[in-house]
Amino acid sequence: ALVVYAPDGTPMALAGEHRGEVPEVVRQGERAYAFARGPLFGYAYFARPMTGNRTAVGAVLLESNLAAGDELLPFADRFRVRHGILPRFFFPDRARGDAIWDWMADRPIFSVTFATLTQARWRDRLVGRGRLGVVLAWTTALITLTLLGRRVASRRGTILALTASLLVIPLHELRGFAYPFELVVGLAVVALLGASMWLLGARVRPEEYRWMPLGAAVAAVALLVPGALRLVQRFAAPALLASAPAGGVGLQLATVLLIAAPMWVLFRVRPPRDRTVHRIGLAGVVALTLLLMAGVLVWAPVLGRLPVWTAALWALPFALLAWALPAEGGTRNTLLGWVAVGWIAASAVLPHLWLLHWQARLQQADAEIGRLGTQPDPLLDTLLRDFAERALFFASEGETGVDLLYRSWVATDLAAEGYEARISLWNGATKEAELGLSEVELPAAMVPMMLTGARAAEEPLVERFAQHRAVHYLLSMSLPGGRVLSVAVPPRRRLDRATALARFLDPAGPGDASELTSLSLVPVPPEGAPASPRWVRTSGGWRSEVRVPFPEGPMHAHLLIRTPPPPILATRTLLLASLQMAILALLWVSARAFAGLPSGGVGERGWIQTFRGRLTLALFAFFLLPTLVFSATAYRALSREVVRTAEALASRSLEQAVDEGPEVPVATLGEHVRADLLLYRRGVLAEAASPEVIDLGLYPTWLPRNMFLAFRSGETLDTVEQRRLGGQRYLLAYHQRGPDAVLAAPVPLVSGDTTQRQRDLADVVLLAALLGAALSFALSLLVGRALSAPIDHLSLAAAAVGAGDLGVRLPEERPDEFGGLYRSFNSMVQRLRRARSAEVRTARVLAWGEMARQVAHEIKNPLTPIKLSVQHLRRAYRDGRPDYGDILDRNVEGVLREIDQLSEIARAFARFGTPAEAAGPLEPVDLTAVLADTLALYRGGEDGIRYQLQAPSGMPLVEARTGELKEVLINLLENSRAALDGTGEIAIRTTQVDPAWLQLEVADTGTGISPEALPHIFEPQFSTRSSGTGLGLAIVRRMVEGWGAEISAESEPGRGTTMRLRLRIAPHPQSE
């Protein structure tokens, strides 16, 4: 900070921010260098004279024991970040330690000490430096194991290994790598997340879905849910349950996974259902779970404690879900099933955790009631003795004044527990310093006795007073130099902070702001209230009925534990359930990705790249944008409302204070308006309703520069600003009070009631945003489906037409553009149908003509030798040949041979033209038996061909027709015999190539087929022999393909040919 002081010590110009009072010697320029150290801040000052007897002063913040604000970063903190050790600054005569550095050497201004480098501190430094290495090593090992795990077969084993490493590695010991939840809960969450990923990463076959009867699974769920909740109730500490709404997200997630993972295993019993039942069932599950949640949250507070066995009712939605959800596998149903069981688990867990949370809050409230009034308070006794030890330690280090009192107070739990206290430092019979953390003063009549007793005692004295209105516990202790330190704690009558200092350090008061408590004390006769706390349900929460002793008589203590109204409670429960669903969905995606399983949508079908996907996303963004704008606007309006409320409160306090006149002291004004007031004179903080705030430097010493200039020039009379003071957000309102005075009122923006209302409205806005997003997504799906459905219908119809179905017809009644498109499509199909009919007629005529040509061609060949034979006979008869009988026999034999050839041609054409369906249905055929029967005919021949059969026993049956299979074998064997020309070998082999196919090979050692002819051997009218009809292999292929089988050929000229058939294995007959 920089400031220019006038000769009278008032600031003329300033920049930056300063806390506490600037020493007089610095303001007057009497010292070029100075050091000032208070309880919270320590400054080094540099002063230089200017013309006109003015003084320029620069202030450097050396250290701070409080978050001063957004603009102040102490030198000590920067030094620790850079060098790893925190310096401490002292006046030269108060520095203690082995290593002391003085600045400046010739005339020390301040001294700097560093922590003594003991063996323990050296170890801590080494451990601190090694933490980063440990984290890097563990992270590298984790990434390596993850990458290797995705490449090995047992990826689920890798999941277990990663989970075990997370459980074993003490992450909570590594700086910056603590679990996001309480340690035990964090370990439980890690273990359950790993187990859930292991389950979700499993490949479940359809036959595994019904391993347990549905009734048994429902009974198991009826035991599982109450058992898990009973486990949480038995082992979760009350402090954990009361620390956050419904026990906190960590406990909620652990309990949900504890129920959802086993429920997911039991869920595999689901039977098949149609789509209508599926949708109705899911809607019923949601409605039933919401009804059960509402019943627990509404009726449980009325009935008091709800028996844990009532959680067995959640087996009903599980039964409905298992009955309704389809059983077929698939990514969509797997995700839907996991999210559904997670929803059932969350709907059971959250209401019961709310109940456990409230019960824990009531237990804590019982402890709070036990510290009211003049009841014995062992905790306070212990804290006061701890305070005495801390004070002696700090006094031995040279601390004194308010610095000693403040450091001793914050070093103990007196600050955290919310006790009121008046902490005083006495020099003789005079107060040297005081921290007013209580509005009650130590009675003057008690002071001499207290001082005398403290100086005479050898150790600190802790006394309890049961009948004194101002003092309940009193600590008095003697310090070196004859000083006495006293801590007077009055009987506890309130739960909030009593003074400005206490409110500054903790504006929300003790406890969680979301669970506000209020206390009222009413005088009652001794028999007017119970001695032990009794809790009564009210419209605003739970109220205690108990009698508490006070010095003036017993009081009826009404301690109210406020619970959220039913709409807010329902809102928070739905938000927490939505959070759990999001975590479970993310867990499912992670498990599927790690296990290498499809996640559906983008990864499986490229849904985003489709027209429907892009249209749905565009509509979702279009619908979501107004929701987000509305939510952001509502939240900003809510935040502004909080600021406006604080501004109105501060302005009203200032107006009331100004109306009382400029002569009234600020402390009196603060009591009248019940506000913390500050008074700035000539831009410098001069007075405060609580004087200790000036000594401690809680608020800025100077007015902000722009406000200082605006007030001095008369441009404004009042203004406000927001600042962060002591780690808390404050609103400071300013109002001019005379020509050189400005009155300020700081108001915290995180006060209990305001924060609660803000949180309630924020929850409502967030739920509205989530519901709006869900509705936007649903609308985008519906609209996207409505717009893309006609295109899908058109695509399916086009595919059907492409497959040959010309009977497709789309509805033409639509009045929109798709109706015209459908009519055009139908017209196109109709034209194609007419063109197909004409094509078929033309093809039929051409086919008959081609068939006639082929028949004529084939018949003409045998007719020629028949004609020649007849002509030869007639000529021999006319010539009277003597060997006419021999000529007749030879020519008749030739004619008969050609007639047989004509008969074979006719039979081949008839077989080639017969449809496959006319031969009858397929049947299981024993291929080995057919081969044996067929080879028996050939092995009896007198040619020199060897036949080898390689058919293992136990071969399965194949799908074929027995007669056709024999004909195929004979045709293949005949072709092989013709290729061998009387000598060689034919090998027949059968092998099972896979569970669905059996392979048959017929291989010969004949002349083979040329590469040019091999692709055409299955075509009609093609033959490699002059005597062949060219229809044999064509007929073979037609029959084989009619069985749903395959045939192929492989040949090498000069080495032989192999014909290979792939036959379907016949299915096993179903047992009755």
- The per-residue pLDDT for range 756-774, each reduced to its tens digit, is 777 777 788 888 878 877 7
Domains of the chain listed by start with CATH number:
2-116 (no CATH), 123-369+566-603 (no CATH), 378-492 (3.30.450), 817-910 (no CATH), 915-1064 (3.30.565.10)
Reported as a single tens digit per residue, the pLDDT across 608-647 is 666 666 777 777 777 777 777 877 787 777 777 777 878 8
Q: What is the pLDDT of residues 581-602, one digit of tens each?
A: 999 988 888 887 777 665 554 4
**pLDDT tens track for 7-19:** 888 888 888 888 8
Residue 307's alpha-carbon distances to 242, 304, 388, 563, 1021, in angstroms, are: 20, 10, 48, 21, 89
Cα distances (angstroms) measured from residue 718 to each of 275, 744, 935, 1021: 68, 9, 117, 110
- Listed as own residue / partner, the contacts of 1042-1048 with beta carbons closer than 8 Å and 24 or more positions apart are 1042/916, 1042/917, 1042/919, 1042/964, 1043/922, 1043/959, 1043/960, 1043/961, 1043/964, 1044/922, 1044/959, 1045/958, 1045/959, 1045/960, 1047/1018
Which tens digit of pLDDT belongs to each residue from 71-85?
567 898 888 878 777
Contact 616, 780 (CB under 8 A): yes
Provide the percentage of residues in the chain whose pLDDT is more than 90: 14
pLDDT in tens, 302-341: 555 678 888 999 999 998 888 877 545 555 667 788 888 9
Lowest mean pLDDT among 512-521, 657-666, 1001-1010: 512-521
Q: How far apart are CA 481 and CA 427, in angstroms?
A: 9
Contact between residue 491 and residue 377 where contact means Cβ atoms under 8 Å apart: no
Task: Give 664-675 pLDDT, tens digit per residue.
Answer: 888 888 878 877
Write down the pLDDT at residue 536. 84
Sheet with 55-64, strands from edge to edge, namely 11-15, 2-5, 55-64, 41-49, 33-37
* C-alpha span between 502 and 435 (Å, rounded): 10
Q: Are 89 and 63 in contact (CB under 8 A)?
A: yes
Give me 390's structure tokens. 């801390």
| CA–CA dist 498, 488 (Å, integer) | 14
**Residue 1024 tokens, joined:** 């490699």
Are 895 and 866 in contact by the 8 Å Cβ rule? The answer is yes
Q: Classify burial at 434, counting beta carbons within 10 Å of its beta carbon; exposed 0-12, middle 13-18, buried 19 or more.
A: buried
Which 3 state secondary structure label does DSSP give 121? helix
Q: In this model, does residue 143 exceed pLDDT 70?
A: no
- Does the pLDDT at position 116 exceed 80? no
Confidence label for 384 from pLDDT (cuts 50, 70 and 90): very high
Identify whether the C-beta of residue 325 lies closer than 8 Å to the C-beta of residue 333: yes
Beta carbons within 10 angstroms of residue 501's beta carbon: 20
Question: Which pair of structure tokens corresponds to residue 484?
Answer: 């006495």
Residue position matching structure tokens 């944008």:
625
Mean pLDDT of the chain, nearest integer = 79
CB atoms < 10 A from the CB of 176, how many?
8
As a whole number of angstroms, the distance between CA 354 and CA 357 comes to 5
Q: Which of 75, 112, 105, 65 has its CA nearest to residue 90?
A: 112
pLDDT at 988: 92
Q: Token pair of 542, please? A: 């739970």
Q: Please say whether the beta carbons of 89 and 37 come within 8 A.
A: yes
The pLDDT > 70 percentage for the chain reads 79
Q: Which long-range contacts (CB under 8 A, 24 or more apart) does 186-189 make?
A: 186/250, 188/254, 189/250, 189/253, 189/254, 189/257
CB of 685 closer than 8 Å to CB of 696:
no
| Predicted local confidence at residue 223, as pLDDT | 93
Alpha-carbon span 478 to 484, nearest angstrom: 5
**C-beta atoms surrounding 218 within 10 Å:** 19
What is the SS3 assignment for 733? Answer: strand
The answer to whether the CB of 776 falls within 8 A of the CB of 790 is no
Q: Is the peptide bond prior to 449 cis by the omega test (within 30 degrees of 0)?
A: no
Return the pLDDT at 1021.
59
Phi, psi of 113 (to 5 degrees): -120, 155
